[in-house]
Amino acid sequence: MFGERVQRVEDPRLLTGQGRFVDDLGQQAVGVAFVRSPHAHARIRDIDVSQALDVEGLIAVYTWEDLPERLAQPLPLLIPHPALTHARTAYPLARDVVRHVGEPVVMVVAADRYLAEDACALIEVDYEPLKPVVGLEDAAQGAALVHEDVPGNVGAHLVQEVGNAREAIETAAHTLAFRLDIERSACTPLEGRGVYARWDGQDLRVYSSTQTSTSVRMAIAAKLNLPLPHVEVIAPDVGGGFGVKIVHPWPEELLVPWAAMTLGREVKWAEDRREHFISSAHERGQVQYVRVGFDDEGRIEGLEVTILHDHGAYTPYGIIVPIITSTQLLGPYKIGAYRVEFSSIYTNTVQVTPYRGAGRPQGVFCMERTMDKIAHYLDLDRTAVRANNFIQNDEFPYDQGLIFQDGRPLIYDSGDYPEMLRMIKELIGWDTFEQRPGLGIGIGCYVEGTGVGPYEGGHVQVTSDGRVHVSTGLTSQGQGHETVFAQIAATELGVPIERISVVTGDTRRFGYAVGTFASRAAVMSGNAIALACKKVRDKALRIAGEALEADPADLEIVDGVVRVKGAPEATIPLSTVAVLSNPLRYAFDEETSKATQFASASAGHPDRAPVAEGEEPGLEGRDYYSPIRSTFASGMHAAIVETDPLTAEIRVLRYAVVHDCGKLINPMIVEGQIHGGVAQGIGGALYERMVYDGDGQLLNASFMDFLMPYATEIPHIETAHLETPSPLNPLGIKGAGEAGVIPVAAVIASAIEDAEGIEIDRMPISPSELFHLRAR
């Protein structure tokens, strides 16, 4: 089944309304709503809840002062880093000062969400407005501070350098210097965040729309002072994540379970759309200053990039995003010398955490704009300049000399960039494209670190009915895990895929995991499941060999039946092997009677224990995969756009992708991931942005004002695959989840620039902005 275009097994359930999302659960639970700050920066002088106390159905009102000691502390800093010298995280409920519009101040519990909202409307919070810090450059000047104890609003400052970039630039034949801007956007999944909790006096069960149920579990246990075995966290069906749900614990993931324990009631909260805009997380916002030196062929001899990164009011996820930008910026190129410096800056806006692509779109925009500018300066074909800078096939593994987001060296494991360029040029028709006014072609290349550690695990069990049950700890948000993990198990075990079930994100089934992010699920859990399957297969063949009186090396498993190779009449069903793997004292049916003490194979061996030393009952296996470093996927995109001569409307006419994620488990699912990513990328290039005014108010916090592309804005996406297997994992695979979105802004900018002859240095770009650029 590995490599086959298998239809997604989860789709019938989801498409016929049988999905189970957080808000489908807990219909008898009481509801939660929050009073959230209307100010970007203010001191809380007083909170008056007296008028809300008369609301019928009100159960409880909580402020920061009501929280127990552990819960009243700031939320965890998930990923510390030596360069993050001034990390700051929020309190579950604001203490003394609010630092962005939407920060939670008061939690209200009532008989239902409607009554809770009514009570929230009657609570009066007396604020003393403080000067808001909005905009990267104003924030970097430090005239006003987001946190009084953070000088200059600088949370982190990091420099990485390979060679002497400044000297290389100064001595190069040609140099360029320019500025680039990427504005804010956000994940906006179809389903917002949500939490439902119930407490029975001893055990706490929490359902959360999360990308990391095991980590949420550990955070809840730590913050609520509960033994870990008494906490269960389950991610049911999750309606999209794209990064925002990897953050944990959100305030609500602690407050809702705490309220359930405090009140002895089932408690639920589901995020509404405005809350998602102003109270979850954003991404993308950066300003980049670039200096580059190059020779007559466009080969880069020195590159220096200085980045201002807006991380909003808090840094719960550390500085992963700017680290990824600064390292993945290099793409498929070998740069003579490279210096990158970034400052991660506080502003009075929603916190910034990873959004699909996680810093890579900004880095690729920087490098690909640089390549286009070099080509224009030298009057060379844009693809020729890229080809002149490529890492060549015989140079892998290629060490870029930097430290990646996983703390490991940035070493590319495999790839074939020249062939990929040939394929994308052929797919889009680069060499035959006919230039005319208002029509342009663009290209963008990228390398993506995937399969980030530290580990994931898999558990595989064959039951006495011959069914295979696969579980892994990471969660699913629509990626097709139930299908691809089943394909891996089917391939390894020789079992029809229809007899395989997959469970993800349920700590009752698998307690140790990291999470779903960074295009890592297939690489990490896929390999762990394959390793677990090998254990099951080896045990099955040993047991079957004894029953068939055959050497296990002479056996194979086909369609769920173990048979002797070349002698198909000598067989034993895998279901019977599962029965024999569990010596029984009691029989429950005809099948299990085969494993009782007078019928099992061990009955004739009185000198041998029914369960051999080092063995366990049952036909099951558990294993973990932990890589030495990330594996690096790559891709190249190209597009043809048309710009209207009067209205400056931008239409994407054609879009092509060549992608290399190593060996493909399911080409159709990979293409679906790419297509969805491209759609998000087009949104980020032409439509989606978060617009703050000078007072820190988000002006477009609704789907009436926040533009997204519809199907009418997304062209047919032409896709081709290149497979260069990774040598770092047994399956030879690389990640694919974020690939589609990464280079799109750079590709669209390149095509618009080609159509208009106007430099495009800021994204996203609207028709109005293009219109005014024409007038300059």
pLDDT tens-digit series, residues 742-765: 999 999 999 999 999 999 999 999
pLDDT at 687: 96
CA distance 205 to 34: 22
Q: Which tokens sit at 430?
A: 């680069």
pLDDT at 61: 98
Q: Whose CA is closest to 451, among 524, 354, 398?
A: 524
Q: Whose CA is closest to 402, among 392, 393, 412?
A: 412
CA distance 311 to 283: 8
120 three-class SS: helix
| 732-750 burial: b if 16+ Cβ within 10 Å, else e | bbbbbbbbbbbbbbbbbbb
- Beta strands 42-48 and 124-129: pairing type? antiparallel
pLDDT at 604: 57
pLDDT at 573: 94
| 193 in Cβ contact with 247 (< 8 Å) | no
pLDDT at 144: 97
Q: Which tokens sit at 158?
A: 């990091």
Q: Does position 584 have pLDDT exceeding 90, yes or no? A: no
Q: Does position 594 have pLDDT exceeding 80, yes or no? A: no
Range in 372-376, 565-569, 726-730 with the lowest mean pLDDT: 565-569
DSSP code for 659: E
Share of the chain above pLDDT 90, in %: 94
Mean pLDDT, residues 34-52: 98
Q: Does position 489 have pLDDT exceeding 70, yes or no? A: yes
Residue 588: pLDDT band with limits 50, 70, 90: confident
- Beta strands 650-660 and 717-721: pairing type? parallel
Q: For residue 228, give Cα distances in angstroms to 43, 202, 445, 510.
A: 37, 12, 45, 13
Q: For residue 572, give Cα distances in angstroms to 541, 546, 550, 576, 581.
A: 10, 11, 12, 7, 13
393 Cβ neighbours under 8 A, 6+ residues apart:
415, 416, 418
418 three-class SS: helix
pLDDT at 614: 80
| 656 in Cβ contact with 1 (< 8 Å) | no
Dihedral-angle region of residue 494 (phi above 0 means left; psi in -120 to 50 means alpha; beta otherwise):
left
Q: Does position 598 have pLDDT exceeding 70, yes or no? A: no
Q: Is 74 exposed, middle or buried (0-12, 13-18, 19+ CB in 10 A)?
A: middle
What are 357-369's pLDDT values in tens digits? Answer: 999 999 999 999 9
Question: From the centroid of its chain, how far is CA 65?
Answer: 35
CA distance 628 to 512: 19
- Beta strands 762-763 and 174-182: pairing type? parallel
CA dihedral 358, 362, 367, 369 (to 10 degrees): 150
Q: What is the 3-state secondary structure (H, E, C) of 358-382?
A: CCHHHHHHHHHHHHHHHHHHHCCCH
Beta bridge partners of 775: none
| 430 in Cβ contact with 383 (< 8 Å) | yes
527 Cβ neighbours under 8 A, 6+ residues apart:
625, 729, 730, 731, 733
- Total residue length of the chain: 776
Rounded to the nearest integer, the mean pLDDT of the chain is: 96
pLDDT at 568: 79
DSSP code for 751: H
Q: Does position 411 have pLDDT exceeding 60, yes or no? A: yes
Q: Does position 377 have pLDDT exceeding 80, yes or no? A: yes
pLDDT at 605: 66
Q: Does position 631 have pLDDT exceeding 70, yes or no? A: yes
What are 640-660's pLDDT values in tens digits? Answer: 999 999 999 999 999 999 999
Mean pLDDT, residues 470-476: 97
DSSP conformation letters of 673-702: HHHHHHHHHHHHHHT----B-TTS-BTT-S
Residue 608: pLDDT band with limits 50, 70, 90: confident
Q: Does position 589 have pLDDT exceeding 90, yes or no? A: no
pLDDT at 583: 84
Q: Which tokens sit at 236?
A: 């049911």
What are 493-552's pLDDT values in tens digits? Answer: 999 999 999 999 999 999 999 999 999 999 999 999 999 999 999 999 999 999 999 999
**What is the dihedral sign for C-alpha 389, 390, 396, 398?**
positive
Share of the chain above pLDDT 70, in %: 98
pLDDT at 601: 52
The secondary structure element, H or E, covering residue 129 is: strand 124-129
Residue 591: pLDDT band with limits 50, 70, 90: low
> Which residue has better confidence, 583 or 126?
126
Q: Whose CA is closest to 140, among 154, 128, 157?
A: 154
Mean pLDDT, residues 155-162: 98
φ/ψ of 678, rounded to 5, equals -60, -40
Q: Which tokens sit at 653?
A: 């006419």
As a whole number of Å, the CA-based R_g of the chain is 28
Residue 603: pLDDT band with limits 50, 70, 90: low
**What is the dihedral sign for C-alpha 98, 101, 104, 108?**
positive
492 Cβ neighbours under 8 A, 6+ residues apart:
530, 533, 534, 537
| 609-626 burial: b if 16+ Cβ within 10 Å, else e | ebeeeeeeebbbbbbbbe
DSSP code for 198: E
Q: Does position 600 have pLDDT exceeding 60, yes or no? A: no
